[in-house]
Chain A
């Protein structure tokens, strides 16, 4: 991993226990590849938790956003424990409350309705990225 300025690290739980973990993963990829490709990098949570020093160093120096699927908030807790508190957390289960018509069922492949929810979560992440970079630029 190369350290760079003006970047925000996205750490998603990518949990397998619930469909919301899959949403967190797909939403994060949407931000990285489509919405904010030049402003974001992803930190691999398993590597981070297993002791990846590059990942942990990045999260100590650069602002991070945790994207958690459920209320256990493992991505947020892991980042806080090994590097520092994320500047923001996006909780998929909270975003879902805003869109009650969008249901999630599949953990493996997302259906169109689930993809729509992933897009909504990605937009929330992108908004947080903009807020963080705006604050950083003002300093």
Chain B
């Protein structure tokens, strides 16, 4: 892809959505809050499984827009997969760090509970601020 085709009007959000831990559910929840509520016109949500499979448009989106991966655990799968697929990482959320920072712990993978909801909201707000910064607004 030529540099001319890189776009700076949206940010790609890449949540891990891991199944093993409650923090994967937080990654998913905060991504939805950003793309559906806080910055719907400035973001595109990238689904990891089709990205790995090379399915368009995801494989093109990560090469076109600046990306923010959201990792649910220290394995950092979203970041690794994004990098492997040519993404331009411009910001990153590692949820275990955010749990400590905000002292909010989700209940479980199937039900994040009130604290999990609060954590997802706080992270979504942080991501929204980062999006505005990246897009220069």
Pair from one complex: yes
B1-9, B46-54, B99-107: which lies at the interface: B46-54
Shortest CB distance A92–B (Å): 13
Within 8 A of A (CB), among B10-54: 15-20, 24, 28-29, 31-33, 36, 45-50, 52-53
B contact residues, range: 20 to 34
Shortest CB distance B72–A (Å): 8
Q: Which one of A12, A17, A33 lies within 8 Å of B47 (CB-CB)?
A: A17
Is B90 close to A, CB under 8 A?
no
| B50 and A72 form a contact (CB under 8 A) | yes
Contacts of B77 in A (CB 8 A): 44, 46-47, 49-50, 52
Residue-wise, chain A 10-32 has the 8 Å CB interface mask toward B (1 for contact) of: 00111111000100011011100
Number of A-B contacts (CB under 8 A): 92
Closest B residue, CB atoms, query A34: B110
A contact residues, range: 20 to 34
Within 8 A of B (CB), among A37-79: 42-47, 49-52, 72, 74-75, 77-78
Is A127 close to B, CB under 8 A?
no
Given contacts A42-B20, A46-B77, are A14 and B50 in contact (CB under 8 A)? no
Is A107 close to B, CB under 8 A?
yes
Given contacts A21-B47, A52-B75, are A16 and B31 in contact (CB under 8 A)? yes
Closest B residue, CB atoms, query A12: B19
Is B89 close to A, CB under 8 A?
no
| A46 and B50 form a contact (CB under 8 A) | no
Most A-side CB within 10 Å, residue of B17, B24, B31, B110: B17
Is B135 close to A, CB under 8 A?
no
| B110 and A46 form a contact (CB under 8 A) | no
Q: Which one of A16, A50, A75 lies within 8 Å of B45 (CB-CB)?
A: A16
| B16 and A107 form a contact (CB under 8 A) | no
| A26 and B110 form a contact (CB under 8 A) | yes
| A14 and B19 form a contact (CB under 8 A) | yes
| A16 and B28 form a contact (CB under 8 A) | yes
Shortest CB distance B127–A (Å): 14
Residue-wise, chain B 116-133 has the 8 Å CB interface mask toward A (1 for contact) of: 000000000000000000
Closest B residue, CB atoms, query A30: B110
Contacts of A49 in B (CB 8 A): 48-49, 52, 77, 81
3 nearest A-B pairs in the assembled complex, by CB-CB distance: A74-B49, A46-B77, A50-B77
User: What would 12 more interface pairs be, CB under 8 Å, given A45-B48, A45-B49, A74-B55?
Assistant: A14-B17, A14-B49, A29-B109, A45-B19, A46-B18, A46-B24, A49-B48, A49-B49, A49-B77, A51-B80, A75-B49, A108-B29
